[in-house]
Amino acid sequence: MPCRVLGFLGRVLIASGVLVLLFVVYQLWGTSLVETRAQDSLEDDFATVLAAAEPPPPESEPSPAATAPTTSTSTSAPESLLPQEGSAVARLEIPAIGVDKIVVEGVSQRDLRRGPGHYPGTPLPGQAGNAAIAGHRTTYGAPFYRLDELEPGDVIRVTTREGEFEYKVTGNEVVAPTRVDVLDDFGDDRLTLTTCNPRYSAAQRLIVTARLDRPPAGSTDADDRPIPPVATPAATATPEALTAGSEIGGSLDDSSAALFPALLWGFATAGTAGVIWLAGRKWRRGTAYALGVVPFLIVLFVFFENLNRLLPPSV
C-alpha cells in the first residue's frame, strides 16, 4: 500500500513539474504567438486608418457649391475620430532596439496582449503634450524588452493618421509603480514609454522619455503648412481620471474576471488528460496518446491563457 501511495505521489509531482515547465514555455513563447497574430490583424487595420486619413484628390473643375463659403465655424473634430479602445492608433519604430509595432488604444491586459498601448487621457503621439505608451517587457512579443538600452539621442519614430513624427531620447529613469506623475504634462512635447523593471518583475517601472523633433500636430510645420488636428482622448478625459489608479498601468489587472474561466478550463484540461489516460489503458497507449496530444495541447493553451490573467500584471 505505501508503495502505491508513493508511486501515485511521484506521478503527481512529475505531472506538476511538466505543467509548470509547459507554462514557462507558454509565457516565453506561447504569448508571442498570440501577439504576432494580433499584430498581423492590426497591420491591416492601421493601413485602413492611414488610407482614410489621406485627403481626396482635388477636382479639376470644382463646382460653385464646393467653392461657396460656408457659415459653419466649428473646428472641433467629429466624435467618430476619437480612437476606440483596442483600435490601432499608431506605428512605433525604435531602430536602435529593433522595435516595429502597431500601437493600440488602451493599457488593459487585453490591450497589451496585442501590442504596446497608448495611455487614454494623454495626447496621441505627435500632438502637443506628453504622449505615453506602455508595453510588455518579457511576454506577448516583449516589445520593450531592450528598452533600457536606449541612449540619449536615439531616434523613436511614430506614425499616426496625422503624419510621421520623430522623437529623440532624452533619458530614462527607474521609479516606483506609484509615480503616476511621469504621465503629467510638463509643458513640452514629449513621448513617455513605460514598462516593468527589472525583467520578469513588476516591482518597479522603467521610464524612457523622448522630445519631439518638429512642431506638434495642430501647429504649423517648417513649410508653414497647417497640420490638421485630430480628436484625442485628452479632450474627454481629465488628469484626475488619468491618475485615478494607484500605480502606473494600474488598470492592467483583470484577474477577477479570469477566475471562473481559469477554473473551468483547468477542469477541462484535467478531464481531457483523464480521458486520454483511460483510453491508453483500454487500447494501445501509444495510439491513444498520439490521438489525444493535439486536443490536450489546445485545451491546455486556453487554460494557460486564462491562468496567466490571474497572475500579477507584468509589462
- By annotation, the residues acting in catalysis are 136, 196
Distance CA 14, CA 111 (A): 35
CA–CA separation, 125 and 37 (whole Å): 24
| Gap between the Cα atoms of 167 and 190, Å rounded | 8
Of 98, 119, 92, nearest to 182 by C-alpha is 119
Rounded CA separation 104/148 (Å)? 22
Spatial distance between the Cα atoms of 152 and 171, rounded to a whole number of angstroms = 6
Question: Is the Cβ–Cβ distance between 145 and 199 less than 8 Å?
Answer: yes
Which residues neighbour 277 within 8 Å (Cβ) at sequence distance 6 or greater? none
Buried b / exposed e across 49-80, counting CB within 10 Å, b at 16+? beeeeeeeeeeeeeeeeeeeeeeeeeeeeeee
Angstrom distance (rounded) from CA 200 to CA 138: 6
Closest CA to 250 of 141, 119, 130: 119
**How far apart (Å, rounded) are the C-alpha atoms in residues 42 and 36?**
10
Q: Determine the 3-state secondary structure of 92 from DSSP.
A: strand
